[in-house]
Chain A
Amino acid sequence: MNLLLAPIVLPLLFAILALFALHHPRAQRALALAGTGLLAIVSVALLLSVRAGGIVAVQVGHWPAPFGITIVADLFGAIMVVLASLTGFAIALYSIGVHDRARERHGYYPLLLVLLMGVNGAFLTGDLFNLYVWFEVMLMASFVLLALGCEKPQIEGAVKYVALNFFSSALFLAAAGLIYGVLGTLNMADLAQKVAAVEDKRLLTSMALLLLAAFGIKAAMFPLFFWLPASYHTPPPAVSALFAGLLTKVGVYALIRTFTLIFPLEPTFTQPLVLWLAALTMITGVLGAAAQMEFRRVLSFHIVSQIGYMIMGLALFTPLALAGAVFYIMHHIIVKTNLFLVSGVVHYLRGTGELKQLGGFYRAHPWIAILFLIPALSLAGLPPLSGFFAKLTLIVAGLQQQAYLIVGAALGVSLLTLFSMTKIWGEVFWKAAPGRPEPDAPPALEPARLRLMIAAIVLLAAITVVIGLAAGPLFTLAMEAAGQLMNPQPYIEAVLGGAP
């Protein structure tokens, strides 16, 4: 099997197998674990081969490039696939620990695998319409995962999530149609060439803005982020961790891909616009988080503010800034997923996520407290953890561009992030447990299951530490990826020239 198609085909294969085993939870769990594990191995192999041999492309069905659908992996795409697969593996491990019988019986694991397929497909496609299709695959799986279980808050969150995503898909579709009408192609590499040749950019700018709105909704950018904190805290912790880690990042990926390859940001109009949006996203997100008093809601608002940092890397639009954005995404996916997983453990052990009612966790479970501290401090950007290097890169890039306003915003937001992480730390772990008359406290978790959940968290925390310690080599990788983004010529040649 071709290495490039494997990240898409493998999850599909395992999803089908898991569907056959729908009534055998044990077999399903084994399949999910094997599927995501294999996926992680394959995607690392893909990344290594892309790094060694340059951009690879496959023309599906042997239709030559501008006509057929192209699957293409450059370094950025391959890095994203690796991250998605690792997250998927950790989530599968954690879900087995959660052991939710009812959801397993209704196809939890197949949906998980289909979601991974959609995410990987979106990262690897080289065709605008195909990107729309992968978005829909991913969204459909996420809709069902979000609503599965039909608890009241879940349904309410799902209504908002589905409605807004449906709307943004309609915008995306309209933009794709208009682009085809004007330029006569949907292949991203071909589009890049044709857009560069067009003299009058006004019509194209309006299309670029349509895409900005569509992807901005999916990435939860200011002012389109309201659906995210309204829905992400409602499903079971494993699902919200998966969403938090991956889904908005697909939107960010699409933004970066569109505005580097197809419509490179223009210093006259689009670049300042995106820069402002990035700053406002950061600030509103972190202020929202400061006002919240529920574990997962705080984290949800932090996703919004972190998206701002990634968009900032795109908006500064220098190789260093883009490398910072890539590095930030690497760090963020792992850290954010991990924080949600920790919040899940807290939720399962105490039966609530309200900060006021929690406490005394450090005394009861010091190890969980330490495991929370690693991603939390990394999120706030304390050295030597991964977040520090990500933020440092972005801020250096901002200073080089003399964009002092956004650098100031980034630093201030960083401080507020630290504030709300210490708030969680103080409320959940440090303060004495409130005298809790809890008649309906859920039964304590079996140690074996808790161990699996902890294993997933340890895995991700270890990756965070490794990203922090191996920042040098990983940063070189991010620089190479950013170089490919800033100079799309090899990408175009790989897609259009090298038809096998």
Chain B
Amino acid sequence: MSIIVGLLYAAGIFLMQRRNMVKFLIGLALLSHGANLLIFTAGGLTRGHPPIIAEDATLADPLQADPLPQALILTAIVISFAVLAFALILFLRAYQTTKTDDLHDLRSTDA
């Protein structure tokens, strides 16, 4: 799992170095996936122990998975989905107004 996180980060950052707008966006998306999986892994992974207290028990299963990171990830996924959708449209408009998909050409507002 941690290897996948590392790969996602590496791929995301590599793609963000590219000059192409679409590759840049895919890089951002991979990076946010990497962050989500990072939370998932950091929260501790267990298999087959749902965080539900059985009917006849009063205490939770001590091996149970922590449900909070998953709730956090859910929130983060929704947010990054919205931001990514907005960024996609923005980059489309940028392409239409500037007629280029090369990020190096977007320099007119730089200082």
Contacts and interface: CB of A to CB of B under 8 A. Distances in A.
A432 interface: no
A98 to B, nearest CB: 21
Contact of B31 (A133, A156, A170, A234): A170
Interface of B is mostly: helix
Interface of A is mostly: helix
B83 A178 contact: no
A133 B32 CA distance: 15
B93 A147 contact: yes
A167 B28 contact: yes
A181 B44 contact: yes
Contacts, number: 111
Interface residues of B, number: 37
A233 B109 contact: yes
A342 to B, nearest CB: 21
A368 interface: no
Interface stretch (A84-92, A109-117, A157-165, A482-490): A157-165
Interface in B17-51: 24, 28, 31-32, 34-36, 38-39, 41-44
Given A158-B90, A173-B76, A140 B98 contact: no
B53 to A, nearest CB: 16
Contact of A136 (B38, B83, B94): B83
Interface in A122-142: 129, 132-133, 136, 139-140
A229 B67 CA distance: 42
Nearest to A229: B111
B98 A292 contact: no
B69 A180 contact: yes
Contacts of A301: 111
A155 B94 contact: yes
B75 A150 contact: no
B49 to A, nearest CB: 17
A288 interface: yes
Contacts of B103: 159
B86 interface: yes
A143 interface: yes
A157 B28 contact: no
B24 to A, nearest CB: 7
Interface residues of A, number: 42
Given A133-B79, A156-B108, A234-B109, A144 B86 contact: yes
A139 B82 CA distance: 11
Contact of A159 (B32, B38, B106): B106
Contact of B106 (A156, A166, A177): A156
Contact of B87 (A129, A157, A162, A170): A162
Contact of B108 (A140, A153, A173): A153
Interface of B: 16, 24, 28, 31-32, 34-36, 38-39, 41-44, 68-69, 72, 75-76, 79-80, 82-83, 86-87, 90-91, 93-94, 97-98, 103, 106, 108-111
Q: Which 3 A-B pairs have the closest CB atoms?
A: A181-B42, A177-B39, A174-B35
25 contacts: A129-B75, A132-B76, A136-B83, A140-B83, A147-B93, A156-B106, A157-B109, A158-B94, A159-B94, A166-B83, A167-B16, A167-B28, A167-B31, A170-B34, A170-B35, A170-B80, A173-B36, A174-B35, A174-B39, A177-B72, A181-B39, A181-B69, A182-B42, A230-B111, A291-B111
Interface of A: 129, 132-133, 136, 139-140, 143-144, 147, 150, 152-153, 155-160, 162-163, 166-167, 169-170, 173-174, 176-178, 180-182, 229-231, 233-234, 288, 291-292, 297, 301
